[in-house]
Amino acid sequence: MNPTIILPPKPQSPNLVFLRDTGTFLFSRVAVSVTTLLNIIVFTRLFSPKDYGNYTMVTAGVALLAIITVCWICNSTLRFFPIYELSNQLDRFYRTVLQLTFTTTAATVFLSLLFLFLYPLINQNTIPKELYSLMVAGLALFILISFSQVLLNILRARRVISWYTFFNSSHNVAGFILGLLLVVGLGMGVNGLIWGSFLGIAATFVWLWKLAINHSIFQSTNTDISLMWKFARYGIPTGMISFQSWILSFADRYLLGLFRGSHEVGIYSASYLLSEQSIFAIISLFSVTSIPIAFNLWEREGKQATKNFMADLARYYLLIGVPAIVGLSALAKPIAKVFVAPEYWEGYRIMPIVALGAFLVGTSNLYAESFTFHKRTDLLMWCYLCSGILNIGLNLWWISRYGYMAAAVATLASHFCLLVLTAWLSRNFFIWNFPFSSLGKVITSAVPMGLAVYKLSTHLTPFPALNLAIAIPAGILIYAATLFFLGEFRPGEKKWLGKLVWREAL
């Protein structure tokens, strides 16, 4: 009797894996984006721009603490997981990751409590009472965010995208619902938003822990000291990068608050969030699914396979990102009228500027992978540092005179600086072919789409919401039809689109 020969499974195309994982994660992004829109619609009507501005500054501070504390651990987890998986040392890997998380979070909490206790004693009149209570609630939220982000990135590293999607979306949806109940039902004011987010994460935290760390790590006392040093060497520069990225995205709020007051912060933040979330939803779709795939390709299949994947990834990003910018710019005013209260409407003017800046960040991220492949995140850190310094300098120069419009332009300029620096320096390590041909076809297709949606949104009916409901689908059809006519879609993509349209029609 002949022995049965079991052949190894045929490796899947990284592009197909990326598209499949992106499709899975798409649900989460839709849920997060819809929740963000509901947050803006509801809470800009419940709170004044001043209160909303205070809430924005506290949540930005929570994000900063999480970046300083655990972002470098999250980035290192993604980078080193494939190596420890191949060597069958995941027990030690998990234990080391969690020990680092406990240590850094405890240190941040201690220093934050010390600040909250001592600062009012030194400067009793500098922090308003309502803002101080928000900061206390924000510290509790920070603790849960720190651990949940590490656990979520373990799921990302393992490419358990379905569960990552579930927890990521449930945290946002539950946080919004519980926050609304606390604000409306218990009259907790802006504090209810913070505690709602806290409860939204807490509700599923134990479940997330068990799925991310799918066995007991406490049975072993082995801690990999060498891995801690690897995490530090690789992760601390990436943590600095994330900190500088925070400066690019959030420092303008604090400078606006300093020079122009919380009222202007609220107007700026609402329109900024509307615009940024639209583009960053696309960026996160690509980063969440593509980074683990790219690292696996680099470690397992080498440079050429990774080059091909990055070129295709850039093409997909252009296909989706460019029309998003054009459409958002054309529809900025009706979007603001539909989604925010009248006292926030004037902020629509910054939306095209913010959208373009966010798109430039996503393009920079594509080039930034060249540094991470070669573990030269120190150079990437300098790119972000230069851009952050430019951002703060321009904001200090312009904000006191020109207000939130200056903040938007300064952020755009710093994002352009970041793109130039990362694209230029990355060529010393890893060169992949940027799809300029696709870029030309995408721009050619996006222009008529933008003109059409602008006309439809402003001249069709007197009702902005109805105009948007008609203009957006029409714009998508015009863009897709023009791309098809220009021959941008590949044969496999045409077949996939045909199946998708047929399935939706049925």
Q: What is the mean pLDDT of residues 22-40?
A: 67
Task: Please tell me the distance from the alpha carbon of residue 87 to that of residue 439, in angstroms, as a whole number.
Answer: 41
Long-range contacts of 377-381, Cβ-Cβ distance < 8 Å, separation of 24 or more: 377/75, 377/234, 377/237, 377/238, 377/241, 378/237, 379/425, 380/237, 380/238, 380/241, 380/422, 381/237, 381/238, 381/240, 381/241, 381/244
Q: What is the mean pLDDT of residues 117-136?
A: 71
Reported confidence tier of residue 215, pLDDT bands at 50, 70, 90: low
What per-residue confidence (pLDDT) applies to 412? Answer: 93
Task: Please tell me the distance from the alpha carbon of residue 439 to that of residue 315, in angstroms, as a whole number.
Answer: 8
Task: Please tell me the distance from the alpha carbon of residue 406 to that of residue 408, in angstroms, as a whole number.
Answer: 5
Please state, for a pLDDT cut of 90, what percent of the chain lies above it.
Answer: 21
What per-residue confidence (pLDDT) applies to 479? Answer: 92
Give residue for tokens 């938003």. Answer: 193
Task: Please tell me the distance from the alpha carbon of residue 281 to that of residue 291, in angstroms, as a whole number.
Answer: 16
Q: Could you give the C-alpha distances from 193 to 163, 254, 345, 382, in angstroms and in order?
A: 25, 20, 22, 36
Q: Which residue type does 149 have?
A: Q
The mean-pLDDT minimum among 87-91, 114-118, 127-131, 407-411 falls in: 127-131
Reported confidence tier of residue 19, pLDDT bands at 50, 70, 90: low
Each residue's pLDDT tens digit, 304-327: 888 888 888 889 889 988 999 999
Q: Is 305 exposed, middle or buried (0-12, 13-18, 19+ CB in 10 A)?
A: middle
For the CA atoms of 396, 397, 401, 406, the dihedral, rounded to the nearest 10 degrees, stands at -80
What per-residue confidence (pLDDT) applies to 134? Answer: 86
What per-residue confidence (pLDDT) applies to 487? Answer: 84
Q: What is the mean pLDDT of residues 151-178?
A: 84
Reported confidence tier of residue 504, pLDDT bands at 50, 70, 90: very low
Q: Which residue type does 379 have?
A: L
Q: What number of other Cβ atoms are within 10 A of residue 218's Cβ?
A: 8
What per-residue confidence (pLDDT) applies to 506? Answer: 46
Residue of 241, 395, 388, 271 whose CA lies nearest to 333: 271
What per-residue confidence (pLDDT) applies to 341? Answer: 81
pTM of the shown model: 0.71
Reported confidence tier of residue 223, pLDDT bands at 50, 70, 90: low
When the pLDDT of each residue in the chain is averaged and rounded to a whole number, the result is 81
The mean-pLDDT minimum among 82-86, 163-167, 278-282, 378-382 falls in: 278-282
What per-residue confidence (pLDDT) applies to 422? Answer: 92
Task: Provide the residue count of the chain.
Answer: 506
Pair 401, 260: CB distance under 8 Å: no
What per-residue confidence (pLDDT) applies to 27? Answer: 60
Give residue for tokens 């400078």. Answer: 255
Pair 134, 58: CB distance under 8 Å: yes
What per-residue confidence (pLDDT) applies to 168? Answer: 80
What per-residue confidence (pLDDT) applies to 421? Answer: 93
Contacts of 165 (CB under 8 A, 6+ apart): 24, 25, 27, 28
Residue 417 pLDDT > 90:
yes
C-alpha 295 chain-centroid distance:
19
What per-residue confidence (pLDDT) applies to 8? Answer: 38
What per-residue confidence (pLDDT) applies to 498? Answer: 61
Reported confidence tier of residue 10, pLDDT bands at 50, 70, 90: very low
Pair 191, 133: CB distance under 8 Å: yes
DSSP per-residue codes, 284-311: HHHHHHHHHHHHHHHHHT-HHHHHHHHH
133's tokens? 């209570």
